[in-house]
Amino acid sequence: MFLGCDIGTGFTKAVLLNEVGIKATITIPTEADPRTAGKDAVEKILKTAGIKDSELKSSAATGWGKSYFPLKSKKENLINCLVAGAGHILPSCRTLLDIGAQQTLAIAINDRGQILEYRQNDRCAGGSGRFMDIISEALGTSLENMSDLAIDAEDKVLITNQCAVFAESEVITRVNDGKPVAAILAGIVDSIGRSLITLVKRISIQDDLMISGGLAKNRALVKFLEEHLGKSIQPARPDPQLVAALGAALLAKEDYK
């Protein structure tokens, strides 16, 4: 068995691989405590799979909190893990867009699964996964519900602030103005979508495109990106949030050989 763990700023994800494929997965909130989250993720995934840690042949950690991972393991670069995971899920993937809680990445990959170039935004919460969390909290709706509302919206309220803090105030003002929540959410998807388009256009975009990270589950956002790039984008299967953890497990397996 091989274990990959991605300790992100939003969630901690773990993937357990056996010789045939994925044996178990787990996703828990990190809550700014990478030490506890890493420990809990390992305990829970081993329990789910019904194995002991001695049965692990090797493991790898990645993401923001990788240095806090409790097991003796290799610490892998996030981009390498994303590319390894993406190549396993969709071998024809040449462009990967990953939207994490605090970091957005656009990665160009060649036909041998090597990184050609990448661009990232980790300086500003505008366009990040956390931006969406803040808005969802302000509106008191779940993230899933937000996607459904936004995709069915007939109107769109333009959100002028790029800054997450100011956009939150702007959203509250619009609600108080009596604007429909669905139209505001469509405006938010637009705002996040525009900053992602800017980022992804800084690399050379080749088919096939794949999207990963928590926001890849937002159908309204994926639809916006497809329309503006004029290309079809596949959310990573089986769960877009697990790509880096899967990649870490694959690298751990490769390393063991």
Partner 1 sequence: MIIAGCDVGSLTAKALIMNGRGDILAYDVMKVTPDPVQSAEKIMSHVLKTAELEFKNIDYCISTGYGREKIPFAQKNISEISCHGKGANWISPAIRTVIDIGGQDCKVIRVDKNGELIDFVMNDKCAAGTGRFLEGIAKTLKIELGQLGALSLEGQSPVDITSICTVFTQFDVMHLIVEGTDRADIATGVAKAMATRMHKLVRKVGIKKEVAITGGVAKNQGVLKYLENIIRGTIYQFTDIEPQIVGALGAALFAREEMEKK
Residues that bind partner 1 (CB under 8 A): 9, 31-35, 102, 122-125, 128, 130-131, 134, 161-166, 169, 172-173, 176
The strands making up 2-7's β-sheet, listed across from edge to edge, are 22-29, 11-17, 2-7, 58-62, 74-75
Q: Which is nearer to partner 1, 17 or 134 (CB)?
A: 134
E strands in 32-161: 58-62, 74-75, 95-99, 104-109, 115-121
Which structure tokens are listed for 254?
Answer: 């490769």
- CB of residue 11 vs partner 1: minimum separation in angstroms? 13
Tell me how far, at minimum, the Cβ of 170 lies from partner 1, in Å: 10
- Least CB distance from residue 6 to partner 1, whole Å? 17
Q: Which residue, 142 or 169, has its beta carbon nearer to partner 1?
A: 169
**Separation between Cα atoms, residue 3 and residue 152, nearest integer Å:** 40
What minimum distance in Å lies between the beta carbon of 1 and partner 1? 30
Residue 173 to residue 196: CA distance in whole angstroms: 25
**DSSP letter, residue 74:** E
Q: Which is nearer to partner 1, 175 or 197 (CB)?
A: 175
Nearer to partner 1, 39 or 231 (CB): 39
Cβ proximity to partner 1, 116 vs 163, nearer residue: 163
Closest CA to 164 of 201, 197, 121, 200: 121
**Shortest Cβ distance from residue 181 to partner 1 (Å)?**
16
